[in-house]
Structure 1
Amino acid sequence: MLKESFETFVTELEVDNEEDMMSRYKRILKKLNGEFWGEESEEEHGYIVGSLGRRTAIKGISDMDMLFVLPTELKAQYDGYEENGQSTLLQDVKKVIKKIYPRTVVRGDGQVVVVTMNGAKCEIEVCPVFERTDGAFDYPDTNNGGRWRKTDPLPELAASEVMTDESSGHFIYICRMVRAWKNNKGFKLGGLLIDTLVHNFLNDDKYAKYKDSSFESYLDLYKDLFSYLKNMNKEQSYWLALGSRQHVYNKDGAFVAKAKKAYGKLKDLTEESEELYDNLRSVFGNKFPLPEAENATQAYRESIEISSARKTEEFIDEKFDGVDIKYNLKIDCDVEVKGFTRKSLRSMLSKFERLQPRKQLTFMIKENEFEELALRTKDPDYNFRVYWKVLNRGSEAIRRNQIRGQIFPDAGMGRRQERTSFRGGHIVECYVVHNNVVVAKDRIKVPIESSEITA
């Protein structure tokens, strides 16, 4: 039944390395407390914030956000430096952490100290803060000579906890499934904004009934949630975060168009729809579970395909440690039209043009936000790798035994040469991988007339 699929899915989305991360968090906190407070406590003066703190993170998360509260009297010391006391503070915290992790990459990152934990498959971002009289915190920003900025995450944790109780846990489940959708479709949407939008949705009078939701009503719930998101103003630059009412920003509003497509996939579905599970997997990813009967039908369909074509497709969530989309990546393709004349494939698609066989294609990265960050900070630890995937679809691909779909590394130029060969709705995907976690992803469809793509 569908309700079991939803229930199984949210369970399988749970973070699977939290215990390991927690042990490292406690070790860092104990060392910092010893250095700055003179007491070796694994509990005092520290908070886990962000998605992990709000309990809305999912498997594959690539960072833990940690606040470490310093003695208030030390703030005057760092204010007393002639230049950028904030930078000095980060360096002091970094030196302490290096004492317990001498061979681990520890770097200052503008506002936090980042500890790369390869064994735990994550990064712990340590943000040293000073408590303010209003209960919020001042944290260091080393940019432009240094200054203090305000952060107020504790009301966000409290608001998340209240909504979790009011919805019998479904607030957390919904937030996790929205993250799965975001990672599957490969677009940037911050965790705090996700939780804020879901919180606002459940507090909207029109949709407040879903606070008393159950897995039986999840299909209707996600129809309404995507309808709610698709009707937002994509030009809106910020929202007021749950609990804290701090500004939480979104640069491009891409989630609005993505929600419109998701809504289109779900709006006409019922539990009896033939395309029910195909469409749910299209929205939330191939990890969305099939019931036994559907799984048997799917296995039969695949066995028919395998009989005439090798099943060669690879999947990023199986090849790498996790998928946690946090950066924008945009790819395009130059299509050879006549000789040296070239057209943008995305431009052609916008005009509903299809490709003809025997055309030279050059896929390229047009925007890589992670690379821009690496160049801007000049930090060698912002290393990354680029991978490509070319997947051929359709009966012709099966007949020719050329499904492809393997994930292979970029040759170093951010480009991929292919050639159109035969009819089908083919796909090219590109991934940016940092610390063996996919942090950016984009795809482009390649519709070929009359006769997949060949290397």
Structure 2
Amino acid sequence: MANCHKLFLDFNAAIALESNYKKTLRKSRDAVRDKIRKYFRDKQNGFSPKFHGQGSFMMNTIIEPLDGEFDIDDGVYFKVEVEPLQSISTFHRWICEAINGHTKQEPIDKQTCVRLVYARQYHLDFPIYYIIEGQTPYLAHKGQGWIKSDPREFIKWFNSKVDQDGQLKRIVRYLKAWSDYRKGDLPSGLIFSILAANNFVFDERDDIAFYQTLVRIKSQLEQNFACYRPTTPADENLLEDYSRTKKNYFLGQLGSFIKSAEKALSDKSSQKDACKAWQSHFGKNRFPFESEEFIEDYHQVNIRYNLKIDCLVSQKGFRTHSLIQMIFNKLPLLRNNTLKFYIKACNVPKPFQVKWKVRNVGKEAIRRNLIRGQILNDSGNHQRIESSEFYGSHFVECYIIKDNVCVAWSRIDVPISD
């Protein structure tokens, strides 16, 4: 059986938001919160807004969509003693006025929120609530009036389902990435989160857990095509408005994905065939293709000699440095440097053959489809010239082959900074 667990983890790293980006988004969100607070302080109308993040950003299931633009939901709460006399449109207008001018594009007043757009990057959605202490919040819906809704409760429910390994959150990201790639009538992230949480099957391997969860989701929907919201507004069927065409499309896509997953997990499938099966639903440019080779597949391994490799890092206008010394001194390895890997010490008696492996790791390597990992013959000078083109935790390995046996091995990590 092909094992694509590590590739799924690489895929997760490629689609999940990076921590530095999350910090930037929180900073942007907090700046808008301050602007809204100031607006109501200056207005002195008796309202003092509080905030609570909601949605996939708070649940840590958010992904980077293919079109590059995603949304962050930040609830604006007004604590009151009774239902406000002001109209819902008034509350929407106040928020629009508070954030107007923060970005080049004017705020968009939608039915359930006010949207602030950061051009070609992301947008912040501000749903508005009033809350009486000890009661369920009410959402300001321009079409339906004040309706009971508590997204905070949903986050608590979802987190109660999350496993220690974080596999459920990864599975939700995989489902969202599938929907993002298909660009068809597949469910929203909220529906996928509920379906995954209710049908989650844990396994030590993500590929198996994902497959088994897909099977359970399809089985549940075939028995009863429904997805009930587990929190306020309770028992709302989020699939109720699906047409027969949309329902059949979703079930058909689930069935197709399950067949591909079965092929990928079959004992008859090679690692490459398994990768192709997963790529047909996640996309060739996103799901990594396993190209790594291993020395034991080509030679018997009997390590009985010493081998040490190093790397000379050179950049125009700067002195050459040893990569080992740079790592020891905690100096960053930047992009666009020339890297010359070489054998620093070796006690294998000649003659012998030298082979190398360069492995790129991380989101940028997956995005560029340059994971690599093939075993390459040495050109004859016991050196390997590379360049630090993009960031990630890469590595290079060197093998000494004597009498068709790998008798020495060495590795050096290549942590290229962003």
Residue in 2 that maps onto 1:163: 161
Deviations 1:240-265 (A, max 9, x none): 23455452512233322211010111
Residue in 2 that maps onto 1:29: 33
Q: How many corresponding residue pairs?
A: 274
Q: Which amino acid aligns with 1:50?
A: G
Deviations 1:132-167 (A, max 9, x none): 455421111222xx6111111112111222222x34
How far apart are the structure 2 equivalents of 1:285 and 1:271? 23
Q: Percent identity?
A: 14
1:223 equivalent in alignment to 2:211: yes
CA change 1:290–1:135 in 2 (3 A) is farther
Residue in 2 that maps onto 1:371: none
Q: Which amino acid aligns with 2:252?
A: A
Q: Secondary structure at the match of 2:126?
A: strand
CA change 1:38–1:162 in 2 (3 A) is farther
Report the structure number with the largest CA radius of gyration.
2
Matches within 5 A, 1:130-149: 130-143=130-143, 147-149=145-147
Deviations 1:312-331 (A, max 9, x none): xxxxx989xxxxxxxxxxxx
Deviations 1:59-102 (A, max 9, x none): 12521111011131584231xxxxxx11121011100111544x
Q: Mark the runs of 5 or more structure 1 residues left unpaired by the alignment.
A: 79-84, 296-316, 320-455
Residue in 2 that maps onto 1:98: 100
Residue in 2 that maps onto 1:247: 236
How far apart are the structure 1 equivalents of 2:141 and 2:153? 22
**Cα distance, 1:35 vs. partner?**
3.0
How far apart are the structure 2 equivalents of 1:176 and 1:46? 25
CA change 1:21–1:74 in 2 (3 A) is farther
CA RMSD for the aligned pairs? 3.0
How far apart are the structure 1 equivalents of 2:237 and 2:134? 20
How far apart are the structure 2 equivalents of 1:221 and 1:178? 12
Deviations 1:195-251 (A, max 9, x none): 10111012xxxx4xx1xx32xx22322322222222244695642234554525122
CA change 1:183–1:229 in 2 (3 A) is same
Q: Which amino acid aligns with 2:116?
A: V
How far apart are the structure 2 equivalents of 1:197 and 1:58? 18
Residue in 2 that maps onto 1:374: none
1:290 equivalent in alignment to 2:294: no
Deviations 1:158-200 (A, max 9, x none): 1222222x34211110100111111122223111111101110
CA change 1:91–1:238 in 2 (3 A) is farther
Residue in 2 that maps onto 1:410: none
- Among 239, 245, 253, the alignment partner of 1:258 is 253
Q: Mark the runs of 5 or more structure 2 residues left unpaired by the alignment.
A: 44-48, 295-365, 369-418
Q: Which amino acid aligns with 2:281?
A: V
1:62 equivalent in alignment to 2:70: yes
How far apart are the structure 1 equivalents of 2:60 and 2:206? 20
Contact 1:232 1:256 in 2 (8 A): no
How far apart are the structure 1 equivalents of 2:91 and 2:135? 21
Contact 1:113 1:127 in 2 (8 A): yes
Q: Which amino acid aligns with 1:131?
A: I
Q: Which amino acid aligns with 2:129?
A: V
Contact 2:228 2:237 in 1 (8 A): yes
Q: Secondary structure at the match of 1:57?
A: coil
CA change 1:235–1:168 in 2 (3 A) is closer
Q: Which amino acid aligns with 2:137?
A: F
How far apart are the structure 2 equivalents of 1:37 and 1:68? 15
How far apart are the structure 2 equivalents of 1:223 and 1:3? 12
How far apart are the structure 2 equivalents of 1:185 and 1:9? 16
Contact 1:36 1:71 in 2 (8 A): no
How far apart are the structure 1 equivalents of 2:159 and 2:22? 18
Contact 1:49 1:153 in 2 (8 A): yes
Q: Which amino acid aligns with 1:261?
A: S
CA change 1:289–1:135 in 2 (3 A) is farther
Matches within 5 A, 1:328-407: none
Q: Which amino acid aligns with 2:269?
A: S
- Among 167, 172, 188, the alignment partner of 2:169 is 172
Contact 1:37 1:71 in 2 (8 A): no
1:126 equivalent in alignment to 2:123: no
Residue in 1 that maps onto 2:388: none
Residue in 1 that maps onto 2:311: none
How far apart are the structure 2 equivalents of 1:248 and 1:51? 20
**Cα distance, 1:31 vs. partner?**
1.8
After TM superposition, the score normalised by the length of structure 2 is 0.59
Contact 1:128 1:139 in 2 (8 A): yes
Contact 1:195 1:242 in 2 (8 A): no
How far apart are the structure 2 equivalents of 1:197 and 1:98? 38
